Homo-oligomer: A and B are copies of this chain.
Amino acid sequence: MIIIMKRQAPAEEIQHVIAEIEKNEGLKPVPLYGIERTVIAVIGDERIIDERHIASLPGVSNVMPVLRPYKLASRETKHESTIVKIRNVEIGGTKVVVMAGPCSVEDEEQIDTAARGVKAAGSTILRGGAFKPRTTPYSFQGHGRNAVLMLEAAAKKHDMVSVSEIMDVRDVEFMAQHIDILQIGARNMQNFDLLKECGKANKPVLLKRGLSATIKEFLLAAEYILLQGNQNVILCERGIRTFEDETRNTLCIATVPIIKSLSHLPIIVDPSHGTGKIALIPPMARASIAAGADGIMVEVHPNPAVALCDADQALTIKNFEDLMEDIRPIVGAMKRTI
């Protein structure tokens, strides 16, 4: 931690800051008396003190951390990449995984048809919404626990791994019994109680990036899960909110190599929510894989025209087959397989 004092901070204020640092065992303050200002460098693991406390001390102009605030999520802590294994599926290994399925599980036939279609085309993980976070209370909110059971049945029948979003801490136990991967959506990325409860569940967690979350905050949200002893966290970039309005969100592909350098956790991309436009899903899926993503997640519906939600971004099964053909050469160019 580097503490920059104000231009004319008197000696007693400098001494007070030094004394505050010295209260912490293992930290050593080193004052540097410059021409215009004094700077105090702190040697030791600065994460044991709150930078905002130091920032509030009289005479302090600015505090700059030196170390990254997450530990368990950091590649500096764990050098080898994490591979999340669920039965015969690996996320974060050499294979590029494709998660596919409808925005919302609507009925048994719909999810069965979707599962059969996406499995045949190469997907190994079946997605389907049961609890839907909708901007307006007047939109369809999902079929809830019934939908969870329908998703479970379809995944078992087609020998797929299942993933579904959880919104309420009171559903964690139920979801963990029936679903392979617990998804935490963008709007709940900083719902810290939900992060903690999912961290305690003995299931992999797919954590989506919040619309206004920095990458640092994204990794700190993962840290909440990891700190509960759950090592199986999969990150998912799905777009951030910017001024651009041609797409629903701005899909930030650079997140993929940045996460790969900062963290050992696997990262996938969701081009469906990231763009909100069917025509942009194939090019953005290709771009994600070319940037090093460990997988993609897309919305597929047997008949988008009757879908209860997100109809405008759902691929048909034919579209999905085309998408798989479209990405295969890029997967190959990256020396990976599907």
Contact = CB atoms under 8 A, between A and B. Distances in A.
Contacts of A291: 283-284, 286-287
A178 interface: no
Interface string A219-241: 01001100100000000000011
A312 B275 contact: no
A168 interface: yes
Given A254-B284, A287-B287, A311-B52, A35 B43 contact: yes
Nearest to A221: B135
A314 B56 contact: yes
Given A39-B2, A215-B246, A240-B250, A311 B56 contact: yes
Interface of A: 2, 4, 7, 30, 32-37, 39, 41, 43-45, 47, 50, 52-53, 55-57, 64, 66-67, 69-70, 76, 133-141, 167-170, 187-188, 190-193, 210-212, 214-217, 220, 223-224, 227, 240-247, 250-254, 256-258, 261, 274-275, 279-280, 283-284, 286-292, 304-305, 307, 309-314, 329-330, 332-334
Given A34-B44, A52-B312, A240-B250, A136 B290 contact: no
Given A168-B193, A188-B191, A256-B283, A290 B289 contact: yes
B41 A32 contact: yes
B280 A257 contact: yes
A136 B70 contact: yes
B257 A284 contact: yes
A309 B258 CA distance: 24
A122 to B, nearest CB: 17
Given A246-B258, A333-B333, 16 more contacts: A7-B76, A32-B41, A53-B305, A55-B312, A56-B311, A69-B138, A135-B217, A168-B169, A188-B191, A212-B212, A214-B246, A215-B244, A247-B258, A250-B252, A257-B280, A283-B292
Contacts of A256: 283
Nearest to A261: B279
A305 B193 contact: no
15 contacts: A2-B2, A7-B76, A35-B44, A36-B67, A50-B139, A55-B311, A55-B312, A70-B136, A135-B220, A137-B227, A187-B190, A214-B244, A215-B244, A257-B284, A330-B333
Contacts of A41: 2, 32, 39, 41
